[in-house]
Amino acid sequence: MLAVVLAAAPGLAASRARKPAVRSNLCTLKIAKQVHALGMYGKCTPHRAAKVGSMIIASADWGTGPHGVGITVYGDMPKATFRAEFVDRFRTVVRIGSFARYVTAPAGVALTAWVRGLGLFVDLRHDSTTAKNRAYRARLLALGRAVAKQI
């Protein structure tokens, strides 16, 4: 029955087979408000998209050195692999995409999420203490949600 439906609607079969595309320049995201809330006012530095096997990795940074914000998007990576590598290591569950978690540490705050077939990693590098970095959690989650809507 499914073959009949797909044969009748060839565009439907093609749309289901499409993989989500990774945006090559993450600096074009409209997230200035969320980045500024984290204390980053410098320019965005895009990194050239890398292809590792079949996986595509795009990233961008705001700020330099030990204080900055980074966003990385992983495309063509199996959901289970992304979850094992990035998500299961973090404890606190949040609601972004189909699953997401974050962690607060002395080096900063990090968030991982699986959004529409793409892996998302957002981090704030802020050398301090775990207790002081907890103040940045809500702002980083707002940044993660804004990025998730646009990727």
Q: Which amino acid is at 34?
A: Q
Average pLDDT on 25-43 reads 91
The pLDDT score that the predictor gives to residue 5 is 35
How do residues 40-55 score in pLDDT, each as one tens digit? 888 999 998 899 888 8
pTM: predicted TM-score of the whole model, two decimal places: 0.81
Q: What letter would DSSP give residue 20?
A: P
Q: Which of 114, 127, 37 is nearest to 81 (CA)?
A: 114
CB 101 within 8 A of CB 90: yes
Cβ–Cβ < 8 Å for 22, 49: yes
CATH topology of domain 20-150: Protein Transport Mog1p; Chain A (3.40.1000)
Q: Do residues 23 and 49 make contact, with C-beta atoms less than 8 angstroms apart?
A: no
Tens-place pLDDT, residues 69-120:
999 999 998 988 888 888 777 878 888 778 888 888 899 999 999 998 999 9
List the domain boundaries for the chain: 20-150
